[in-house]
A and B are shown apart, each in its own frame.
Chain A
Amino acid sequence: MNMFSSLMLASLSVLTLPIMSSILNTHKNSTYPHHVKNIISYAFITSLIPTMMFIHSGQETIISNWHWMTIQTLKLSLSFKLDYFSMIFVPVALFVTWSIMEFSLWYMHSDPYITRFFKYLLTFLITMMILVTANNLFQLFIGWEGVGIMSFLLIGWWYGRTDANTAALQAILYNRIGDIGFIMAMAWFLFNANTWDLQQIFMLDPNLTNLPLLGLLLAATGKSAQFGLHPWLPSAMEGPTPVSALLHSSTMVVAGVFLLIRFHPLMENNKTIQSLTLCLGAITTLFTAICALTQNDIKKIIAFSTSSQLGLMIVTIGINQPYLAFLHICTHAFFKAMLFMCSGSIIHSLNDEQDIRKMGGLFNAMPFTTTSLIIGSLALTGMPFLTGFYSKDLIIETANTSYTNAWALLMTLIATSLTAVYSTRIIFFALLGQPRFLPLTTINENNPFLINSIKRLLIGSIFAGFFISNNIYPTTIPEMTMPIYMKLTALTVTILGFTLALELSLITQNLKLEHPTNMFKFSNLLGYYPTIMHRLPPLASLSMGQKSASLLLDSIWLENILPKSISQFQMKTSILISTQKGQIKLYFLSFLITLTLSMLLFNLHE
């Protein structure tokens, strides 16, 4: 009997303390954000102990506490599943959140509602933890919806801005479409497996799992911004930078991937769904990488980068490697959050300037931010032996040596080189060259909150991959032998991307500005997807509704078919054929005289 479950529950429940302190009104004072940050750091350290116990002994736990209700034959209880995935994700998420909270102490310093901001961030973290440690689908759905709601509240943080409100609404709508798939999967499991518990579903191992897995794939498409339901992620950059760093890079958007990873025992038997996942991920990763090439807002480029990496994770699930996808989730959190924090530092220093065409020359002015931005970009592109290498290179190698769809593989490789291209673009435009911002600058990165938080994630970006990879137990065996050209594929395409981008940027820097080509317009306007899909389907459905309901039923069937058509017809024909002048008395009189004469004639003629 060890302290595994107690420590884990303690670390999760200590997160709820600041929320409950709002009852006592201690959340009105100005040290509340510091308390929140400290509590998250304590929760992180406390959760390290069960994780180390897990790594040492491989002990997985399911904590089933409170029997909530029984609905005929379905038993719903509060149960936490502390297995490989949750035990490693919880410390990573808490570490990244700790750094982001410290960063937002600097970033949101002048915001009058900073305590509410921290409360929202903490509520988001709690719902994310519920999602990750859920053992039944109902609890997972609670966490799922919770992160959706907190995302809405946080994206629309500056609600005076119209774009922020539409972006928050867009996030909710696209997530809702994914929730339809989730509920369909829940309904299928209720009918066919009589349960929402993951253990029972995996034990029963149902045969025809196409429908629920399609539902789960739709849910992942909505939550993780895959192609078709992706426009909400770049629009979500309207929220403050800590929100983008926490929700839309490390934690919330990986919820969809996490759901598919949780269901990997069902997915590994269903080849159709795997191919579908693979193609969806490949389309997403290539499309969003293309869109990232010509964006001018630094946060949007990083958002598209997130979307592209999510597509890569979905591709990994599609080649039946859930553990590699999970490793990529954990390593991606470090450098993506750090990239967002560096961009936040740049934005604040240049007085809220987000356009990379108006930055430049920050290499000498902000050395610490420059360092972390370059290291983060290198980790993102998979430079050998930084963090991203341990997951990304393994994914590319496994995809190269597996029996998979060649088109999807090609798309993934092209997207990998495009990753290097747009990372070079950020570095070139934001950091190198001569300054393009206004001369009166407020560049200051000397705040200890900023420096410490980025420093922690920097150490994580460099060493976390090595650290995590060496301490987890072996799950699926990676491919050990392959030809040398396959081994070096990822590195080659990345270096190709770097050199190409650098050459192009240097050559075209002094050329005359031309009109944008069609390819440029395609990439800049996000492939025209939001323009088409936000206007055409609503117009079509609304006009179809109007035509069928009011025009067809009311006007035509009830008014026009019998009554009005008869009256029109009669009037037209009577106008057409009448030749009379209306002398009624004359006609009647002549009728009477004719009648009298004929009667006299017939009676008096013998």
Chain B
Amino acid sequence: MSLVHINIFLAFTVSLVGLLMYRSHLMSSLLCLEGMMLSLFVMATMVVLNTHFTLASMMPIILLVFAACEAALGLSLLVMVSNTYGVDHVQNLNLLQC
């Protein structure tokens, strides 16, 4: 695997670890989600452009669209938590209330 690919793959792994291990704010996990999306986008674009696989050049754009949707969903969950508690600390999510 070339150095560029390893670079981007490492960026993805760092974001993944950041998504799964965070201390108190829900917002940091959402930020890492965006980072994962960004590295995936760059990886996909580079591979498609290098191999001249023109038919698949839609794929990064569609990935972007769906990532925007999921970011909106994540933000709305954040807003719901923040409405109830004022801050988005994860330790608030221990009560099962709807």
Is the beta-carbon distance between B17 and A582 smaller than 8 angstroms? no
Smallest Cβ distance from B31 to chain A, in angstroms? 14
- B93 near A: Cβ within 8 Å? yes
Max chain B Cβ within 10 angstroms of own Cβ: one of A575, A581, A585, A588: A585
Kindly identify which residue among B21, B93, B94, B95 contacts A592, using a CB–CB cutoff of 8 Å. Answer: B21
- B20 near A: Cβ within 8 Å? yes
- A66 near B: Cβ within 8 Å? no
With contacts defined as CB atoms under 8 Å apart, how many contacts are there between chain A and chain B in the complex? 31
Number of interface residues of B (CB under 8 A): 13
Q: What A residues does B93 contact at CB under 8 A?
A: 582, 584
Is the beta-carbon distance between B95 and A582 smaller than 8 angstroms? yes
Q: Which A-chain residue is minimally distant from B17 (CB atoms)? A: A592
- Rounded to whole angstroms, the CA-CA distance of A580 and B93 in the bound complex is 11
Smallest Cβ distance from B13 to chain A, in angstroms? 10
- Rounded to whole angstroms, the CA-CA distance of A582 and B17 in the bound complex is 20
Q: What A residues does B90 contact at CB under 8 A?
A: 584-585
Max chain B Cβ within 10 angstroms of own Cβ: one of A583, A584, A591: A584
- A506 near B: Cβ within 8 Å? no
- A571 near B: Cβ within 8 Å? yes
- A532 near B: Cβ within 8 Å? no
Q: Which B-chain residue is minimally distant from A570 (CB atoms)? A: B98
Within 8 A of B (CB), among A561-599: 571, 574-575, 578, 580-585, 588-589, 591-592, 595
Is the beta-carbon distance between B20 and A592 smaller than 8 angstroms? yes
> Please, what's the 1-or-0 string for B57-98, where 1 marks a CB less than 8 Å from any CB in chain A?
000000000000000000000000000000000100111101
Interface residue tally of chain A, by bracket?
10 to 19
Q: What A residues does B22 contact at CB under 8 A?
A: 585, 588
- Rounded to whole angstroms, the CA-CA distance of A595 and B17 in the bound complex is 10
Is the beta-carbon distance between A588 and B94 smaller than 8 angstroms? no
Is the beta-carbon distance between B20 and A591 smaller than 8 angstroms? yes
- Rounded to whole angstroms, the CA-CA distance of A166 and B72 in the bound complex is 64
- Rounded to whole angstroms, the CA-CA distance of A595 and B96 in the bound complex is 28
Q: What B residues does A583 contact at CB under 8 A?
A: 94
- B19 near A: Cβ within 8 Å? yes
Is the beta-carbon distance between A575 and B21 smaller than 8 angstroms? no
- Rounded to whole angstroms, the CA-CA distance of A217 and B54 in the bound complex is 84
Is the beta-carbon distance between B21 and A588 smaller than 8 angstroms? yes
- Rounded to whole angstroms, the CA-CA distance of A591 and B19 in the bound complex is 11
Smallest Cβ distance from B57 to chain A, in angstroms? 30
- Rounded to whole angstroms, the CA-CA distance of A582 and B93 in the bound complex is 5
Kindly identify which residue among B21, B29, B95, B98 contacts A589, using a CB–CB cutoff of 8 Å. Answer: B21
- Rounded to whole angstroms, the CA-CA distance of A575 and B16 in the bound complex is 30
On whether A575 and B94 interact (CB within 8 A), knowing A589-B21, A591-B20, the answer reads no
Known A581-B96, A584-B93, A595-B20; further 11 A-B contacts with Cβ < 8 A: A571-B98, A581-B94, A582-B94, A583-B94, A585-B21, A585-B90, A588-B20, A588-B29, A591-B20, A592-B17, A595-B16
- Can you offer 13 A-B residue contacts whose CB atoms are under 8 A? A571-B98, A581-B94, A582-B93, A582-B95, A582-B96, A583-B94, A584-B90, A585-B21, A588-B21, A589-B21, A592-B16, A595-B16, A595-B20
The 9 closest A-B pairs by CB, nearest first: A592-B20, A588-B20, A582-B93, A582-B94, A575-B98, A584-B90, A571-B98, A591-B20, A585-B90
